[in-house]
Amino acid sequence: MQPAFHVYIDEAGDPGVKPKLIDIPHWTDWFVISAVVISSDREAEAVDWIREMNAAIRRSTPASIHYRNLSDTNRRHVCNVLAEKPARIFVVASHKDTMRRHWNPKLGRANDKKFYNWCLRLLLERVTQWCASRSQKAGLETQPARIVFSERGGHDYDDLRTYLRRIEAQTLTKSLVLDRNSIAPGVIYESLCTVVPHANLAGLQLADIAASAFFQAVCTALPRHTVEPAQALISRLARQGRRRKPAGFGLMMLPFAHQGEIPQSDRAIFQLGGYEF
């Protein structure tokens, strides 16, 4: 099975939603997970994009890009390079403080694993719907995607694969526990889901840039907070249909309106993406 799309997924922040037992920094209140989608005929170009980023930040010896290790100036440079490339970006950003108190009548209270899986599901719903739409526009049946997760400590990836299989099966049988939206059938297959170290794939380095830039933008409590790098990437965020703004699709904000509100100080990047408060 040959994938038509390559989906690279990385995250920034901690997905933990356990109640705060001590006074911890407010930047831990945010979690961001991001996907960068590249068509198969462009996927090999990602290596050249990383090479271009290394040139933009004037590295004498090219190396893998780690956003957290870059200066503010170089963070802007790599985002400006990515903003010009034929890739689509999806971001789910959650203000976790609301989730610590949230209780769902079907699922109960969120724990760390449920919360991560919920954010991932929201991300993949939009990614797969976009892939299915692109397939349809090309006059094809829905084409599969290769899903690549950046390897991180603390994640149970076998459990993650089980979760993805369950969601896909529920989608096909129309038995989703939470059925407001769904993963588009025919895009995700277990055999095309892999976990790879960040430094080993250019596409994962692009996903790191996207996740980290939006984490830096949403969290005003960060010492190096700025919206500028993420703002450059808004042009690459996916839109749904003919919508002009990515809000609710390429850029997803949590909590939903019925769950609570995010701090006013953290709203700027969402407003730039089309959200209204």
Q: What type of residue sits at position 109?
A: R
- As beta bridge partners, residue 36 has 8, 89
Q: Looking at 24-38, 122-136, 151-165, which range is the least confident one?
A: 151-165
| pLDDT of 210 over the 70 cut | yes
Q: Which helix (H) or strand (E) holds 95?
A: strand 88-95
Write out the two tokens for 112: 């760390």
Longest dimension (CA), the chain: 56
| Across 33-53, average pLDDT | 97
Q: Quote the pLDDT of residue 107.
A: 45
Q: Give residue limits of the domains in the chain.
A: 5-272
Sign of CA dihedral 97, 98, 102, 104: negative
Q: How far apart are CA 201 and CA 94, in angstroms?
A: 26
Q: Is 5-272 a domain of CATH 3.40.50.261?
A: no
SS3 of 35-81: the string is EEEEECCCHHHHHHHHHHHHHHCCCCCCCCCCHHHCCHHHHHHHHHH
Which tokens is 29 given?
């209140």
- The answer, yes or no, to whether residue 113 has pLDDT greater than 80, is no
Q: Where are the alpha helices (DSSP H) in the chain?
A: 46-56, 72-82, 96-101, 112-137, 157-173, 202-218, 228-233, 268-272
> What is the structure's pLDDT at 60?
85
Mean pLDDT of the chain: 88
Element (H, E) at 104: strand 103-104
- Residue 257 has a pLDDT of 78
Q: Which residue has the higher pLDDT, 142 or 110?
A: 142
Binning pLDDT at 50, 70 and 90, where does residue 108 land?
A: very low
pLDDT score of 116: 87
